Amino acid sequence: MRPSSQKLAFHKMHGLGNDFVIVDARQQSVTMTNGLARALADRRTGIGCDQVILLEPSENADLAMRIFNADGSEVEACGNAARCVTLLVGHGARIETPGGIISGVPGDSGATLDMGTPCFDWNDIPLAYAMDATHMPVGWEELTDPIAINVGNPHIIFFVEDATVVDLERLGPIIENDPLFPERINVNVATVEADGSIALRVWERGAGLTRACGTGACATTVAAIQRKLVSGDTTVHLPGGDLDIEWTPNGTIRMTGPATHVFSGEIKLDDFT
């Protein structure tokens, strides 16, 4: 049982409006439960965030990062959070996540990350049964011919004429929770612009519509290159701002974008448990 006086220090940060409560448990041991993550993430009665990030020691990298969505579910990877953590650490670092190791280097106002290699096999997404994940023979209303990619976490991408008119708030949770996706899935709708950049909106599993999704930007760029819709490195326009994504087939994905430290604070744990 935690002492009633135990206090928890945290940092509030965001990457393009995708916001986080970051708890550094490398010195102060913290038991993060699904319920505690939900309480911290609550925008009315908690600190408020899209994801709660727990930093822990790692035997395989400089530190480990665990990611809890606002609904309390734990997920494998988060690119925007990794940029924030890299900025917070203040030097180049290898960050262990359940989805693999991410390498980050801080910059003037953000960070550049090596996100690792994407996976395209249906079993790696994962899907419930075998199919060609690069041209999936499935659809939900006007959203058809998707491509699914795992970039540390699972994404499905739909290329549409105008991403802004898709009712993603309604279709997102339907697709996220479809039985085809045993671990649920992040839903991306994208439009390739005339200059080769990509306009993107994301329904994030466990969090809902988000102002930015780093792994979504990575997955969508990889999908666009696979479909030959763009010829190489590109800029992804999200509601919260832009990310620059680089990928060469058979190589790793590089993402560059901003990260912002908003404030630091301290809470009493017994107020949230």
CB 19 within 8 A of CB 41: no
Q: Give the position of tokens 């990457």.
A: 15
Q: Torsions phi, psi of 79, nearest 5?
A: -70, -40
Q: Distances in Å between the alpha carbon of 49 and those of 37, 41, 267? A: 10, 5, 15
- Extract the tokens encoding 86: 């890299």
C-alpha to C-alpha distance for 158 and 184, rounded to whole angstroms: 16
- Extract the tokens encoding 166: 């898709």
Q: Give the position of tokens 């911290």.
A: 40
C-alpha to C-alpha distance for 62 and 101, rounded to whole angstroms: 10
The one catalytic residue among 49, 84, 213, 218: 213
CA distance from start to end of the chain? 11
- Extract the tokens encoding 169: 């708030």
Residue whose C-alpha is closest to residue 82's, from 70, 68, 94, 69: 94
- The enclosing H or E element of 159 equals strand 154-159
Strand partners, 87: none
The one catalytic residue among 49, 78, 84, 218: 78
Q: Residue 84 catalytic?
A: no
Q: Residue 49 catalytic?
A: no
Q: Distances in Å between the alpha carbon of 104 and those of 12, 89, 257? A: 19, 10, 11
Would you please indicate which residues are annotated as catalytic (active-site) residues?
Answer: 78, 213
